[in-house]
């Protein structure tokens, strides 16, 4: 979700106004995902590096987050969306941690998932996984020669969430910025110049349409399931 600051600057508004407008886009995108039969949406809301922003912006973002979850807690339950947090949640204030844990518990049985990356970076997630492995090796419950890709993957923050099929980046930046470094190995990328607060259904559909014509070979030579078929069958399942 990139471009909130530029959106605000273009309008002569404070950066926080951009973040507020961006929060509205989050609500809309949840609807688009539901309508398209997409069951997992991960939002990169706040990176470990974002703590280095001016203190006023950081606290404004935290307040916005708190307002957002207080406002939509009931809606998430009604819409049967499971909320999960990935990242260093211990960096967040204890009241925010408690609020997030409460929603996670209340929505834990729902199938459609909204994963929010907070104080997240791919490198820190991988370092956490390495630490968990080291602890298990030290405890004698895991042998070094048992460590393989599956062992690492199982120690990520949300190990049961499938790797993303599609990663959308708004605001035209052509970089990964430490997002899901392990999980993005074979994700399709889609970059749009549209700023996050302006991102709406037509932009979302354009991303899905671009994805639908990608040929995913996963390093092999044969085509796998054409993306278009995957998109269609998901939409059929939903309707």
Report the phi/psi class of residue 91: left, alpha or beta, with left for phi > 0 and alpha for psi in -120 to 50. Answer: alpha
163 annotated active-site: no
Residues in Cβ contact with 132 at an 8 Å cutoff, skipping those fewer than 6 apart: 155
Among residues 41, 61, 100, 103, which is the contact residue for ligand IPE, using CB under 6 A? 61
Residues 6+ apart with CB under 8 A from 166: 187, 188, 189, 190, 207, 208, 211
Among 2, 125, 157, 203, binds ligand IPE (CB under 6 A): 2
The nearest distance, CB 5 to ligand IPE, in angstroms, is 2
Asked if residues 69 and 100 have their Cβ atoms less than 8 Å apart, the reply is yes
User: Smallest Cα–Cα separation from 160: which of 150, 169, 168?
Assistant: 150
User: Which residues contribute to the site for Mg ion (CB under 5 A)?
Assistant: 2
Q: How far is the CB of 157 from ligand IPE (least distance, A)?
A: 19
Clarify whether 2 is annotated catalytic: yes
Selection from ligand IPE, Mg ion, none that 46 binds (CB < 5 to 8 A by kind) is ligand IPE
Residue 119, contacted partner among Mg ion, ligand IPE, none, CB below 5-8 A by kind: none
Distance CA 97, CA 117 (A): 13
Which two three-digit tokens encode residue 163? 């790797």
- Smallest separation (angstroms) from ligand IPE to the CB of 153: 27
| Torsion over CA: 160, 204, 81, 121 (sign) | positive
User: Where does this chain touch ligand IPE (CB under 6 A) — which range of 4-12, 97-105, 120-128, 207-215?
Assistant: 4-12
From 35, 39, 50, 198, the catalytic residue: 50
Binding flag, residue 46, ligand IPE (CB under 6 A) = yes
- CA–CA dist 61, 181 (Å, integer): 24
* Catalytic residue of the set 2, 4, 157, 203: 2
Q: Any contact of residue 87 with ligand IPE (CB under 6 A)? A: no
Catalytic residue positions? Answer: 2, 50
């Amino acid at each position: 979700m990139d471009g909130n600051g530029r959106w605000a600057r273009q309008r002569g508004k404070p950066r926080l106004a951009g973040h507020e407008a961006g929060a509205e886009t989050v609500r809309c995108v949840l609807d688009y995902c539901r309508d398209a039969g997409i069951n997992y949406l991960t939002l990169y809301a706040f990176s470990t590096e974002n703590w280095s922003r001016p203190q006023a912006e950081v606290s404004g973002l935290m307040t916005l987050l708190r307002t957002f979850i207080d406002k939509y807690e009931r809606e998430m339950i009604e819409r049967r969306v499971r909320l999960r947090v990935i990242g260093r949640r211990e960096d967040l204030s204890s009241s925010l941690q408690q609020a997030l844990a409460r929603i996670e518990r209340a929505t834990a049985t729902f199938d459609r998932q909204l994963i929010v990356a907070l104080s997240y970076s791919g490198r820190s997630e991988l370092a956490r996984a390495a630490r968990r492995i080291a602890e298990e090796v030290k405890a004698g419950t895991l042998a070094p020669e048992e460590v393989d890709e599956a062992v690492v993957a199982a120690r990520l923050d949300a190990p049961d969430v499938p790797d993303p099929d599609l990663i959308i980046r708004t605001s035209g930046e052509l970089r990964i910025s430490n997002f899901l470094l392990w999980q993005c190995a074979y994700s399709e990328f889609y970059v749009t110049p549209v700023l996050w607060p302006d991102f709406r259904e037509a932009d979302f559909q354009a991303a899905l349409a671009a994805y639908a014509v990608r040929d995913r070979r996963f390093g092999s030579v044969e085509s796998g399931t054409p993306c278009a078929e995957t998109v269609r069958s998901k939409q059929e399942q939903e309707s």
